Structure 1
Amino acid sequence: MPGTPKRLRPRKSPRQKRSAQTREQILEAAARVFVEHGHAAGTTNRIAEAAGLSIGSLYQYFPNKDAILLELARRHVDHGRRLAEAAVRRGLPAAWDERATVLVDVALGAHDGDPRLHQVLFEESPRPPALLAELRALQDSLVGLVAGLLREDGTVRVPDPDLTAWFLVAAAESLTHRYLADRPTADTEAFRRELTGLLTRLVHPAPAG
């Protein structure tokens, strides 16, 4: 992608089935290694060993471990984008509390992999400007979508739909990330209900008293 430093660009774009399989093998092995060892100790030697490849074979596809991490992070971003697009294609419910549930489910679905891997990708590893731009573009598109829904909903009265939409998207993403990292409860359904209630109250506050 334009803007990605050369040192973080993959070295080979697979054109044959075997090359594509090898690339997937490397990425799957890397995910396991980063989950077990973290960013600092997740070396290319460990990744190559986990993938059953020589270090030279790995370097034919990726120049270093951060290039592998970047590819894994981009896949996470694409996964979240596809989930949001699929939710829109299916058609959104009319009631806002049900729409809030959809937003929570998209956030949970985007984090449905190993939370430790997500932590390595977005807390421990370097994030180049190109990846930050992709993350911002995804957030902006979601905020724009939610702001449009707020404006179209005749039951919603918020002074600034764009700001409220930002709060909704940021809360869904940030709290889901923290929940899966901290696991204050093993009951994911309880978290889902609490977060849905919070997002609903941002739009429909409880009456005073």
Structure 2
Amino acid sequence: MPGKRLQPRKEPQQVRGELTRQRILTAAARVFAEMGYAAGTTNRIAERARVSIGSLYQYYPNKDAILVALAARHLDTRAESPRRHRETAGPPETLDGALRELVHVAIQNHLDDPQLLRVMAEQAPRAPELLEQVARYEEERIAEVRGLLERYPETSVSNVDMAARIVVNAVELLVHKLIAGPEPLDLPAFEDELVTLLTRYATAGSERSSGLRR
């Protein structure tokens, strides 16, 4: 079955096994980013991880399964980052500040390896488990942004549910596309412009009302 082909062969039961698995994933990330997915063979991954090819196959049946595991790990990290950020900083006082926090965390989550992110987005096998995780992550982000929009009185969108979906997808697509792109990116300027775009969208109704009153 296709799903079985993309599943890890075993989960480590000891610390040593988990360290080996993480070495394989870290090595694979470097190989895929540097050589591309087609040239990123399991032999090259095993060599970079300094493990035997037999040891690699104990954990993953093929490089497709390794790429799926990398994508899942990236999603887990992205889901955890906003929680850690909220634990260390209080809630922003304004909608603009809340959207800036949202954009800043998204950018930081994409800085580690833009080339690998491009490989994962364009070439990762569409495993059902991975698609479910992506959908779950997106729904969690939409729920968070919906709550954010409802929290601040300056929000003036007519449909909060739809607005939350637009904001989440706009941030995801723009951050990924521009950071993973071939051209150098002025990150502070990009963050400022994306925050301005989102803030004006979320408060456009109140701005129109103010204009009418004037």
Deviation at 1:6, TM superposition (A): 1.2
1:127 and 2:126 correspond: yes
CA RMSD, Structure 1 to Structure 2 (Å)? 2.0
Partner residue in 2 for 1:45: 43
| Amino acid paired to 1:146 | V
Residue in 2 aligned with 1:160?
Answer: 159
* Other-structure match for 2:179: 180
Q: Share of identical aligned residues, percent?
A: 45
Question: In structure 2, what is the equivalent of residue 20 of structure 1?
Answer: 18
Matches within 5 A, 1:7-86: 7-86=5-84
1:203 corresponds to which residue? 202
1:90-101 matches, within 5 Å, as 90-101=89-100
TM-score between the two structures when normalised by the length of structure 2: 0.90
- Which residue in 2 is equivalent to 1:140? 139
User: Is residue 80–residue 109 contact of structure 1 (8 Å, CA) maintained in 2?
Assistant: no
Greater alpha carbon shift after TM alignment, 124-133 vs 97-106: 124-133
Corresponding residue SS for 1:173: helix
Whole-angstrom distance in 2 between the partners of 1:74 and 1:166: 22
Partner of 1:102: 101
Aligned partner letter, 1:19: G
**Alpha-carbon distance, 1:12 to partner:** 2.0
Inter-partner Cα distance in structure 1 for 2:130 and 2:84: 23
**Aligned counterparts of 2:119 and 2:183: Cα–Cα separation in 1:** 20
Q: 1:184 to 1:37 in 2, by over 3 A?
A: closer
1:20-71 alpha-carbon deviations (Å, 9 max, x no partner): 1211111111111101111111111111111112211110111100111111
Distance in 2, Cα, partners of 1:160 & 1:88 = 26
State how far apart, in whole Å, the 2-side matches of 1:133 and 1:177 are.
Answer: 20
One-letter amino acid of the counterpart of residue 36, structure 2? G
Structure 2: unaligned runs, 5 residues or longer? none
- TM-score, normalised relative to structure 1: 0.92
Tell which deviates more after alignment, 17-26 or 62-71.
17-26
Per-residue deviation, 1:72: 0.6
8 Å contact from structure 2 (residues 9, 61) kept in 1: yes
